[in-house]
Structure 1
Amino acid sequence: WARENGCRWDESTCAGAAGGGHLEVLKWARENGCPWGEEICSLAALGGHLEVLQWARENGCRWDESTCAGAAGGGHLEVLKWARENGCPWGEEICSLAALGGHLEVLQWARENGC
């Protein structure tokens, strides 16, 4: 209904679904031709939405250092671990983002794993 009545239908639709952890909404949007951008993985990681991140990657969504940065800054250790185990790059800012957010476990893990 919303689409038929002029509702916005672009990358921000998928971004909102990913950032909010709404996997079924994201799936539906993609199945119905909604485009997505490079921020999908980082938004899912920032929100701690591992299932969304996994689905996005399984469906060809690109990622970059901002995915690990989102996970670290959001304090989502399991998301960060999964991303790294699956080849996601990370940058120098990971430790500072974890520290800034007060995420000691994330900071410790990052240091123990080469950050």
Structure 2
Amino acid sequence: MLTLSGSLRIFLALEPCDMRKSFDSLHALVVSQLGDDPRGGAVFAFTNRTRTLIKLLYWDGTGTWIYAKRLEKGTFCWPKPSDGSNGKLKLAPEALAMLTDGIDLKGARMRPWYERE
């Protein structure tokens, strides 16, 4: 289980990627495009071009996890590639929680997403 503790390192891949990618392909993206070690204990977040899907890649010491969230309506508020360096942006665990909960990190406001009643 992924625990968003204060010591957890989180990196967002700023460029969108093909969301058909799974364990090995996302692992290769971390190495080749982000220049990092996927087995270093950090979480790596990826999104698609339309910003409706997010995948998290995480090595817990015994194996690799992939977490995914697809929005029924609306988009994730994702930083632009010019906002970070080396194609990635470091986030605090609290910022990742806000991002996945629909909070615009620049304006600190809820985005209008669809919620089922």
> TM-score over 0.5 for the alignment?
no
Q: Which has the higher strand share?
A: 2
Larger RCO, structure (CA 8 Å, separation 6 or more) = 2
Q: Which has the higher helix share?
A: 1
Q: Which has the larger radius of gyration?
A: 1
Instruction: Report the TM range for the smaller structure's normalisation.
Output: under 0.3
TM-score using structure 1 length = 0.26
